[in-house]
Amino acid sequence: MTALLTIIIVLFVAVALWQMVKIFDLAQVGTTTSQVADDHDNKINGYLMIGFLIFIYVITILSFWYLGDLPLMSNSASEHGVEVDNLMIISMVVIFIVQTLTQFVLHYFAYKYRGEKGKKALFYADNTTLEFIWTVIPVIVLAGLIIYGLFTWNDIMNIDEDEDPMVIELYAQQFNWKARYSGADNVLGKANVRLIDIDRANVLGVDEDDPNAQDDVIVTELHLPVGQPVVFKMRSQDVLHSAYMPHFRAQMNCVPGMVTQFGFTPTITTADMRENADMVEKVKNINTLRLERKAEIEESGQELIYEFDYLLLCNKICGTSHYNMQMKIIVETQEEFDAWMKEQKTFPNSLN
């Protein structure tokens, strides 16, 4: 019934627009129908270009004033996060400056050199100096950004094995995450999707006979000790997923049939981030919005009051429940992490 009403409304709107077009055509009888713009048309368009330029700048200023959150990037919780934020800020500043200048030139020239009767356009068949300038400047700027980005990326991706990073596997499947710790030997046991045995609760396909798998620990909530380098080995059981940890400025695709990796060092515990002034303000705003929907949230069985947590999200559209594919990340002290780890079952003890 709703679909039928929608179709009827659309038809009525279409008929109304058709009638309005007919009325407009009748109103134009006796007026000029030339498709060639005259001086009056060009003048109006010139003023409109200036008006639109002013509109762009006003919207930009208002966006910074009411919606801006300077610095543009903040609250990174990993060692390399500061470098990523700096690269983003530099890129945004360059883009903003170029956009401001080029939009001014574009709209001002459209106004200043608008068509006028008897006015002949002046043009250069070629101008080597101008072409050199507008070619070299972008090349230098872009080369600088690209080289800086490559150095930043290499610093992030080149994992220093001398730091003895903790090895953790992230296992993606529609629509949840699991983490597998490498245990005391810091070596993950072999795994293959062909070894998955639901009856045995071997949901990751870990090789039960592999000696390195005997101390592995499989969990659904990720705990990380602050200041400890971590290397994530990532697998996917079904489709392409993407492990995205926004506060750690970390993202890597999880590809079926292969292992990808990403490493970082967490620098701020969950408890400390919850006390961060910016985060306190954001959480307050979120809870204000949630209180406005109190009845709806309580009816759905969710906790009414939101509390900040780091999250592992899927950043690839992987299916119908993609939006809800996430896992909590707890960053804590080494002592808290060790106490938590002692409470977890090793892989052999988790089997049926």
- Measured at the CA of 250, the angle between CA 248 and CA 255, to 5 degrees, comes to 150
Domains, the chain, with CATH or none: 164-350 (2.60.40.420)
Residues making up the chain, counted from first to last: 352
* pLDDT value of residue 328: 95
Rounded distance, CA 159 to CA 263, Å?
7
CA-based R_g, the chain, Å: 30
Tokens of 130: 């101008």
* pLDDT value of residue 121: 73
Rounded distance, CA 209 to CA 321, Å?
34
Rounded distance, CA 115 to CA 112, Å?
9
DSSP per residue over 114-174, as a string?
---TTPPPP--S--HHHHHHHHHHHHHHHHHHHHHHHHHHHHHHS--GGG-PEEEEEEEET
According to DSSP, residue 64 is labeled I
* pLDDT value of residue 128: 87
Contact 325, 177 (CB under 8 A): yes
Long-range CB contacts (within 8 A, 24+) of 164-168: 164/229, 165/228, 165/229, 165/230, 165/231, 165/263, 166/224, 166/225, 166/228, 166/229, 166/230, 166/231, 167/230, 167/231, 167/233, 168/222, 168/230, 168/231, 168/232, 168/233
In tens digits, the chain (352 residues) has pLDDT values of 677 778 888 888 888 888 887 777 766 655 656 667 677 888 888 899 999 999 989 988 888 787 766 656 678 899 999 899 888 888 888 988 998 999 999 999 888 888 888 777 777 778 888 889 889 999 999 999 999 999 999 988 888 887 889 999 999 999 999 999 998 999 999 998 899 888 888 989 999 999 999 999 999 999 999 999 999 999 999 999 999 999 999 999 999 999 999 999 999 999 999 999 889 988 999 999 999 998 888 888 888 889 999 999 999 998 899 988 999 999 999 999 999 999 999 999 888 8
